[in-house]
Structure 1
Amino acid sequence: MAAEQRKLLEQLMGADQLIGGPSSGRNAQVPITDPKVCRSYLAGTCPHDLFTNTKQDLGPCPKLHNEGLKTEYDAASSHEKAKWGFEYDYLRDMQKYIDECNRRIDSAQRRLEKTPDEIRQTNHLLAQISDLNKTINTGLEETSVLGELGAVSTAIDEFYKVRNAKHQKESLERDLKALADTSGPSGHQKLQVCDVCGAYLSRLDNDRRLADHFFGKMHLGYAKMRETYSVLQKEMKGQPPSRHDDGPSGRGESGFDDGGWGQGGGGGYGGRAFRGGGGGYRRRGGGGGYGRW
């Protein structure tokens, strides 16, 4: 029974990742530069480990996570690490997932925009309100002139027209406000997209619900990835990437050129304002609290 369970586990995870498997220790003689080794795991944190049991769960990493190799990497000199160039692979790996998250954020933002019909309704209401403003101003001037000329009866009729125009304007302004509050798929919930992880947030959420989001595993995972990417990118800026032969199964499958992260249109955080820190939330003034909108 135990053998059957182990065989099933090997099929799901790969024999190399099982404790006691053929590559679980240094005795397996797997070199640290082997293409099957996860370089993100060695140089930092593998993205596959950040989002387990969340909506963005990436599943098990297809590459080998070996504690012995990680210990060897941590103990290596700066010269050896520079020769291996694993941090460049780590940057490319993070860039791929950050770019995917940014695309989700842009897509979610577009879904919250007003529809063409809502835009037409808004413009129509604004035009009507503008016309009524002109009618009111002109009517007030005519009422004043008629009063000075002694045409009291005509002035009173004109005043009633001005008052009716004001009532119409107030009604249209209420309609405009209601349309603004309920337009878009966000509706009355006033949804907003988190600019760190891409999740939908409601501006009506209380502090407890916001805390659940900002300290949730998915948000913290993307916050950590963005912060690590930003720091590592600055530290390695201007350093030529080390050339190493990964073979066809290396980390180069993401399609990013060496040293190309964060430059041009392909890399980095796309210019978004990272909220910093581990939690990724803003504090308002000196009283703390979460980033309310």
Structure 2
Amino acid sequence: MAAEQRKLLEQLMGDQFAGSIASKTANLSLTSPQVCRSYLCGTCPHDLFTNTKQDLGACPKFHPENLKLEYETLDAHEKAKLGFEYDYMRDMERYVADCNRRIESAQRRLEKTPDEIRRTNALLKTISDLTKTINTGLLEIQVLGELGQVNLAASEFFKVRTAKLAREQAEHDLKSLSDTSGPSGHQKLQVCDVCGAYLSRLDNDRRLADHFYGKMHLGYAQMRKTYEKLSGEFKGRMPPVRDQESRGEDGYGGGDFSDRRGGYGGGGGFRGRGRGRGRGRW
């Protein structure tokens, strides 16, 4: 809600709000740890999901427009020396990895329960046993008929017919179980492989369009595209060596959401999966 909050405060406070923000950001520079590096390089994640289920609230760091413009005027060498895009990529890496975990969790919830799996296997075994009984009975009827033992053949035929009825009932029960368990039992739900939202295969084109053009889906699509682009550009490259001021207070370029445990690991060895399973096509 960061952008909306700023606009609302601007409307309520007018020049007073603008003056307050200006006073707080007047002494900030590109390398100040209070400045959001993601905002300078592209789009802050806090601004991507406003008024959605993934709303992150206001960014704890400043978004000075003058510094964003200043950063955009730098040449490629100066930007590489600052190394802000490494910090930006690590922010994207964390959010993409978190979204991937939610997608996997949502997909597991749509799978069959242990009881549903047990009942399915039991019905499949019943159907298999009855099929064997039917086939064996038909052979016995043929042999008994050739031997002229009509009464025994008629008795065996009754057993075969009973087995066929039992098999039909088991097949009916299996179909009903399949229709009411797993994804089919959840209104034919599936998980969006970009943002992790539930989608129904029964949705009409309008509802699907509302999802795919919604803020949350587009936000994660943009984030994934940015992460894949940056990770591809920096693959195999060592991160820049920055002084204490450039690194910021946390020593990693001021990135709020970076995983402090891993570092860059020898240039390009990123832990995040990205979309290694082939998801996230735009």
TM-score band, normalised by the shorter chain? 0.7 to 0.9
User: How has the CA–CA distance of structure 1 residues 83 and 262 changed in structure 2, closer, same or farther, with 3 Å as cutoff?
Assistant: closer
User: How has the CA–CA distance of structure 1 residues 270 and 213 changed in structure 2, closer, same or farther, with 3 Å as cutoff?
Assistant: same
> Once the 2 structures are TM-superposed, how far is the Cα of residue 240 of structure 1 from its aligned partner?
1.0
- Residues matched between the structures, number: 262
> Once the 2 structures are TM-superposed, how far is the Cα of residue 80 of structure 1 from its aligned partner?
0.4
User: How has the CA–CA distance of structure 1 residues 152 and 64 changed in structure 2, closer, same or farther, with 3 Å as cutoff?
Assistant: same
CA-to-partner distance for each residue in 1:172-225, whole Å, 9 max, x for gaps? 111111111211486251221111111111122122211111111101111111
Q: Which has the higher helix share?
A: 2
Which residue does 2:112 correspond to in 1? 114
User: How has the CA–CA distance of structure 1 residues 275 and 24 changed in structure 2, closer, same or farther, with 3 Å as cutoff?
Assistant: farther
Unaligned runs of 5+ residues in structure 1 are 1-5, 11-17, 278-293
CA-to-partner distance for each residue in 1:92-114, whole Å, 9 max, x for gaps? 11111111111111221222222
Large movers: runs of 4+ above 6 Å? none
Normalising to structure 1: TM-score of the pair?
Answer: 0.81
Which residue does 1:268 correspond to in 2? 273
CA-to-partner distance for each residue in 1:129-184, whole Å, 9 max, x for gaps? 11101101101111111122222232222122212211211111111111112114
The percentage of aligned residue pairs carrying the same residue is 65
CA contact (8 A) 1:93 1:251 kept: yes
CA contact (8 A) 1:108 1:198 kept: yes
Kindly indicate whether residue 58 of structure 2 is the aligned counterpart of residue 88 of structure 1: no
User: How far apart, CA to CA, are the structure 2 residues paired with 1:216 and 1:69?
Assistant: 30
Give the 5 Å matches for 1:66-85.
Answer: 66-85=64-83
Unaligned runs of 5+ residues in structure 2 are 1-5, 11-16
User: How has the CA–CA distance of structure 1 residues 52 and 22 changed in structure 2, closer, same or farther, with 3 Å as cutoff?
Assistant: closer
Choose which of 264, 268, 273 in structure 2 pairs with 1:259. Answer: 264
CA-to-partner distance for each residue in 1:65-119, whole Å, 9 max, x for gaps? 1111111111101110000001100011111111111111122122222222212
Normalising to structure 2: TM-score of the pair?
Answer: 0.84
User: How far apart, CA to CA, are the structure 2 residues paired with 1:36 and 1:187?
Assistant: 50
> Secondary structure of the residue that 1:192 maps to in structure 2?
strand
User: How far apart, CA to CA, are the structure 1 residues paired with 2:142 and 2:171?
Assistant: 26
Which residue does 1:209 correspond to in 2? 207
User: How far apart, CA to CA, are the structure 2 residues paired with 1:251 and 1:137?
Assistant: 70
